[in-house]
Chain A
Amino acid sequence: MLERGKISALQMAFMMNPTILATGLLLVPAITAKTAKQDLWLSPIWASFIGFMIVFVAYRLHRLYPKETMFEYSEQILGKIPGKIVGVILVFYYFHVTGIIVREYGEFVSGTFLHQTPMVVIFSTMIIVSSMAVYGGLEVIGRCSEMIVPVLLVLYLVIFVMLLKDLDTKNFFPMLENGLGSSLKGSVVLQSWFSEFILVSFFFPYLRDQDKGMKWGMISVFSVMFYMVLTNVMSLLLFGKLTASLTYPVMVAARYISIADFLAHLESIVMALWVAGTFIKITVFYYVLVLGTAQWLKLTDFRTIVLPIGFLLILFGIWSAPNLQVLSHFLSTTAAFYLLSIQVGFPVILLIIALIKKKRQQMKGSITG
């Protein structure tokens, strides 16, 4: 096995939280508000079903092939050549998606704080840090998240609490003005975020407490849903209809905090949350990409390709979009189907084929036996 480290199920749950939330928190309210209007806080609840489902699918696949990741068992399920083709699609997919995440990070940092700094520098600094974590392996990433994530989650709640006095519950109404339809439509984009939970399938084989994997996977889906609902409620109650026209509602919300004249200008907290969260997110994706590539190429050690892939990720970050407008247009339109087809479509098909195969084997077994 390439990865010798082991993590606990709790560490995995901590890891998954920022992996979904980091980019989600800033962009989600504005994107969902465009279609769901004042029902935007319902959308994460609908979208989380995909999350629960995908964790379940990943767990079932894991039960069938307990020691392998998706790159490995896709070859077993589909056969050598089709399995390799699926592998190459997955590798390129993760290249692309990680590139987009790197770009989102860069866009936010340079759009709100470091306007003059070249994007490449912002990308590279993050990639260098992430590559160190990836180099350290899964255990390092797991421990990093165990340290960082609880702080993030608590700080985020603090922001919400400090905004309470500026929130106006009137903005909730009229609830379900256009029926459930609009909030369901709004959830489509969110589903693509929740579908990223397929990443747990790469961690299941390395869990110390394998039987708890499912439980903690589900808990982390729930906590992600909770935070997304909280974010959407916060932006809705603070900005009302304005939510849809802001680029980063949460950022503006944090800036809006002003308590007793001196506790103000808290956007640096959001920045810290975002950078720390995105660090985990990029590292997790980066790690899966490196591990997957190594498994696909049947390398003996994944550490040799960490830096080359990191370099490529910087390039993918630059290539992924010409500007922010194109990036957010892509994220709120095509990306949903792109991400869903690979992160949900693939595993589901794999599971179905695997189950059929197993059935057949059992039948064969019973016939010969």
Chain B
Amino acid sequence: MRRHYGKASLKKIFFLFLILFVFLLAGCWDRREVNDLALIRGAGIDKKQNGKLELTVLLYIPKGSTGSEQGMEGSGGGGAMQTLIRSAQGNTIAEAMSILQEKLPRQIFWSHCEVFIFNEAIAKEGIAEHVDFFIRMPELRERSQLFISKERARKILSLLPPLERDLAEVVRELGEEKIGMTVTTKDFAEMLVSEAGDTAIPWIKILPPIEGQEEKRTIAYITGTAIFKRDKMVGKIDDSLTRGLLWLRDEVKYSTISVTPKGTKGYVSMKLLRANSKIIPKIRNGKWEVVLKAEADDDIMQNTTDLDVTNPKVVKALEHQLNSQLANRVNETLKEVQKDMKADVFGFADAFHREYPEIWKKEKHRWNEIFPKVKVTIASKINIQRQGMQSGHPLISSEKGKAE
């Protein structure tokens, strides 16, 4: 009986110890409280005169502490300030980050960093070394998007967007719309290790604020694309050339095209429903060629001409015109990017590698010579599917059309 009692109490002591261990566990080394974290929403990298780089971070201020944080750096705009920016200099991002930590009472937390903005000057020197940090750092996510701008990244990050929570959110959402290119850290690294190794990153610009509004009360938006030879920026293309680039990369999602049909003065605007494109490489008698096969479905959105767009013949003509317009667009892009910048951001090298692995192995080292000479032919097939809700008689009478 006594023995039994002893065993039971031993067991109790054992469990007591187990419970005590639980208290030890609460003091984990990696414990981080939310109120000790500085949540970084976006980061910008600028070049300083002294050769160092400047890391600027956009921090999210949790609601509630807003009032007390007023008057901080970057809080130019009145109203509920939800963000603040801080900068630090260093030779590498990692170094700048630890210097930045000196200026922050809370621990830097990268997990929610959605965008990285590089200044043009940095981009021209090469950004692979910085992207290395983005991938190596365990906290950072590979879905963060990259952007290039002419303005200082710090200036862009300090904008106070009227509609969204902060600038990082604005730029990220704009990127998700996929009107221009969208490049995540992963995409960039993937392009960098691809056969050609040339890359492209969307270009952002500050939208001029509405008159009378405060200067900072605006956003940055994506317009055009920065083209990189490997990781060094060599040039920039505008919005319309970016469309051509997207067609070549099979990344077209949204687009509206207007054409002026022959013999009229107005426009017919069409909305793209879906698009598919494919590049088919061919090597014929030592000549390297690429065929761009594109297919798209469009809906008519607006008609300012006197044409009857319900007429299949008219539709046929419109389709024909769309095709040639697409070819022009792509050719312009090719002229600029392929012939002038000589950067293979279209994935031609990979396409050849896939199709002709044997030849590729032999000719790989000559790709820089071959690439500008690759002949591209465009075979597109655009279908106009419907005329929209307005059918039958065009609202614009032919007389009016003639009178103009």
A residues lining the B interface (CB < 8 Å): 111-118, 121, 170, 173-174, 177, 238-242, 245-246, 252, 255-256, 258, 261, 264-265
B273 at the interface (CB under 8 A from A): no
- Interface flags, B82-96, vs A, CB<8A=1, else 0: 000000000000000
What chain A residues lie within 8 Å of B350 (beta carbons)?
A: 170
Beyond A115-B138, A117-B30, whether A256 also contacts B357 by CB under 8 A is no
Of the candidate stretches B1-9, B147-155, B187-195, B212-220, the one touching chain A is B187-195
User: Chain B residue with minimal CB distance to A258?
Assistant: B143
* B353→A174 contact, CB < 8 A: yes
What chain B residues lie within 8 Å of A241 (beta carbons)?
A: 190, 193-194
What chain B residues lie within 8 Å of A255 (beta carbons)?
A: 141-143
In this complex, the member of B28, B111, B176, B190 whose beta carbon has the largest number of chain A beta carbons within 10 angstroms is B190
Chain A min CB distance to B277 (Å): 13
User: Chain B residue with minimal CB distance to A248?
Assistant: B138
Bound-complex Cα distance A111 to B137 (A): 10
B253 at the interface (CB under 8 A from A): no
What chain B residues lie within 8 Å of A246 (beta carbons)?
A: 135
Cβ contacts A to B, 20 pairs, < 8 Å: A112-B138, A114-B29, A116-B29, A117-B28, A117-B29, A174-B353, A174-B354, A174-B357, A240-B190, A240-B193, A241-B190, A241-B193, A242-B190, A242-B193, A245-B193, A255-B142, A255-B143, A256-B142, A256-B143, A264-B143
Chain A min CB distance to B140 (Å): 9
Bound-complex Cα distance A258 to B143 (A): 8
Beyond A113-B30, A114-B28, A242-B186, whether A252 also contacts B193 by CB under 8 A is no
B355 at the interface (CB under 8 A from A): yes
User: Chain B residue with minimal CB distance to A255?
Assistant: B141
Q: How many A-B residue pairs have CB under 8 A?
A: 55
What chain B residues lie within 8 Å of A174 (beta carbons)?
A: 353-355, 357
Contact of A240 among B29, B142, B194 (CB under 8 A): B194
Chain A min CB distance to B385 (Å): 24
Bound-complex Cα distance A158 to B212 (A): 52
User: Chain B residue with minimal CB distance to A174?
Assistant: B357
Bound-complex Cα distance A242 to B357 (A): 19
What chain A residues lie within 8 Å of B141 (beta carbons)?
A: 255-256, 265
Contact of A265 among B111, B135, B193, B353 (CB under 8 A): B111
What chain B residues lie within 8 Å of A245 (beta carbons)?
A: 189, 193
- Interface flags, B54-75, vs A, CB<8A=1, else 0: 0000000000000000000000
Chain A min CB distance to B141 (Å): 5
Bound-complex Cα distance A115 to B357 (A): 43
Beyond A174-B354, A174-B357, whether A114 also contacts B30 by CB under 8 A is yes
State which residues 170-205 of B face A: CB under 8 Å. 176, 186, 189-190, 193-194
Chain A min CB distance to B305 (Å): 39
Bound-complex Cα distance A258 to B142 (A): 11
What chain A residues lie within 8 Å of B142 (beta carbons)?
A: 252, 255-256
What chain B residues lie within 8 Å of A239 (beta carbons)?
A: 186, 190
- Interface flags, B15-30, vs A, CB<8A=1, else 0: 0000000000000111
Chain B min CB distance to A135 (Å): 14
What chain B residues lie within 8 Å of A114 (beta carbons)?
A: 28-30
State which residues 190-241 of B face A: CB under 8 Å. 190, 193-194
Bound-complex Cα distance A245 to B194 (A): 12
- Interface flags, B28-69, vs A, CB<8A=1, else 0: 111000000000000000000000000000000000000000
User: Chain A residue with minimal CB distance to B21?
Assistant: A128
- Additional A-B contacts beyond A173-B355, A245-B189, A265-B111 (6; CB < 8 A): A112-B138, A116-B29, A174-B355, A239-B190, A240-B193, A241-B194
Bound-complex Cα distance A121 to B21 (A): 12
